[in-house]
Amino acid sequence: MPHIAYVNGQYVPQSTAMVHIEDRGYQFADGIYEVCVVVNGCYWDMDGHLVRMQRSLSELEMDAPMDMRALKVVMGEVVRRNRLKDALVYMQVTRGVAPRNHAFPPEGTAPSLVITARRFDFDQSDVKANHGIAVISQPDIRWGRVDIKTVGLLPNALAKEAATKAGAAEAILVRDGVVTECSASNAWIVDETGAIVTHPKTNEILGGITRQTAIACAEELQIKVIERPFTLEEAKAAPEAFLTSATSFVMPIISIDGTRIGSGKPGPVALRLREAYKACAAKG
């Protein structure tokens, strides 16, 4: 069965799906995106992702391709047509098609919308969490508004490629000695008191939807949450470290740049928070 994508009003085989060569997402990375996870037919944190999508569009003065109710229908139809129960749903909106010019196109130019879905291996995510992951550090060379979820991800891709070449699962990004986040996730440590620490929401990080839910779960578990900058050295010396993202949930980190974190095994705080997150997200 061919994979089916939604492209600007049509459901088409993904192998033949196309966008115009003058789409501004292609020429200027002038677009935003979101990724939602579907587990056993249920969306996890969907409303949070759609709220963030609206914020990204607003920050870039970009029109929405449709209202959020209609978008949910299209998302569901893409998943249905691909016959998926566990899925990653990717949504991308660009400023549309116009002759190449740095200035915005004329008012009324229709935005472009692409939605795809592929299988998500939920069980494999748990296997990875039970073993923990290795990460490396990389310089944070991204632009100054990473709080907007744009498709301009070349620095992220370079960092992730460096991690892959080093045999690591992710790259922690560091600016002026301070950990901001990771190439595709938010970074956390557990301090000596058992509190969890993560960089505050500023224009230096993307406010993760999983991050937001994890904070709520931690508060329910009576785990103290501290939003403050922390250094790479502090992270390497921490009893535990972990990351959060829509596709990783809460993922324990067992080494940074080859330095063992804590016991070198997934820590109890991260694993407890992961289970709490999964239980919360599964409620919809």
Same domain for 111 and 198, yes or no, is: no
Query: So what's the pLDDT on residue 95?
Result: 98
**Residue pair 96/20 in contact by the 8 Å Cβ criterion:** no
The residue out of 120, 148, 171 marking a domain boundary is: 120
> Which of left, alpha, beta for 39 (phi over 0: left; psi -120 to 50: alpha)?
beta
Query: So what's the pLDDT on residue 11?
Result: 98
* Cα–Cα dist 257/198, whole Å: 19
Same domain for 153 and 82, yes or no, is: no
What is the count of structural domains for the chain? Answer: 2
Ranges of residues in the chain whose predicted pLDDT is under 70: 1, 284
Which H or E run contains 12? strand 10-13
Model pLDDT for residues 51-65, shown as the tens digit of each residue:
999 999 999 999 999
CATH code where residue 240 lies? 3.20.10.10
Torsion of CA 98, 99, 103, 107, to 10 degrees: -40
**Residue pair 11/24 in contact by the 8 Å Cβ criterion:** no
Question: By C-alpha distance, which of 79, 74, 70, 75 is closest to 3?
Answer: 79
Residue type, 236: K
**pTM score of the predicted model:** 0.94
* Cα–Cα dist 210/204, whole Å: 17
Q: Is the dihedral of CA 155, 160, 165, 166 positive or negative?
A: positive
The residue out of 120, 143, 167 marking a domain boundary is: 120
**Residue pair 94/30 in contact by the 8 Å Cβ criterion:** yes
Same domain for 166 and 236, yes or no, is: yes
- Between the alpha carbon of residue 197 and those of residues 214, 224, 258, the distances in Å are 12, 9, 21
Catalytic residues: 149
Q: Long-range contacts made by residues 118-124, C-beta under 8 angstroms, separation at least 24? A: 118/3, 118/82, 118/84, 118/87, 118/88, 118/90, 119/84, 119/86, 119/87, 119/88, 120/37, 120/38, 120/39, 120/84, 120/86, 120/87, 120/88, 120/247, 121/86, 122/39, 122/86
Could you tell me whether strands 230-231 and 133-139 are parallel, antiparallel, or unpaired per DSSP bridges? unpaired
Which residues, other chains included, contact 60 with Cβ-Cβ below 8 Å and sequence gap of 6+?
Answer: 30, 32, 95, 148, 150
Query: So what's the pLDDT on residue 1?
Result: 62
Same domain for 136 and 40, yes or no, is: no
Give the structural domain span for 176.
125-282
Question: By C-alpha distance, which of 18, 115, 108, 112 is closest to 65?
Answer: 112
* Cα–Cα dist 242/271, whole Å: 9
* Farthest CA pair distance, the chain: 58
Same domain for 63 and 137, yes or no, is: no
Question: By C-alpha distance, which of 247, 257, 256 is closest to 277?
Answer: 247
CATH code where residue 74 lies? 3.30.470.10
Same domain for 96 and 151, yes or no, is: no
* Cα–Cα dist 207/184, whole Å: 12
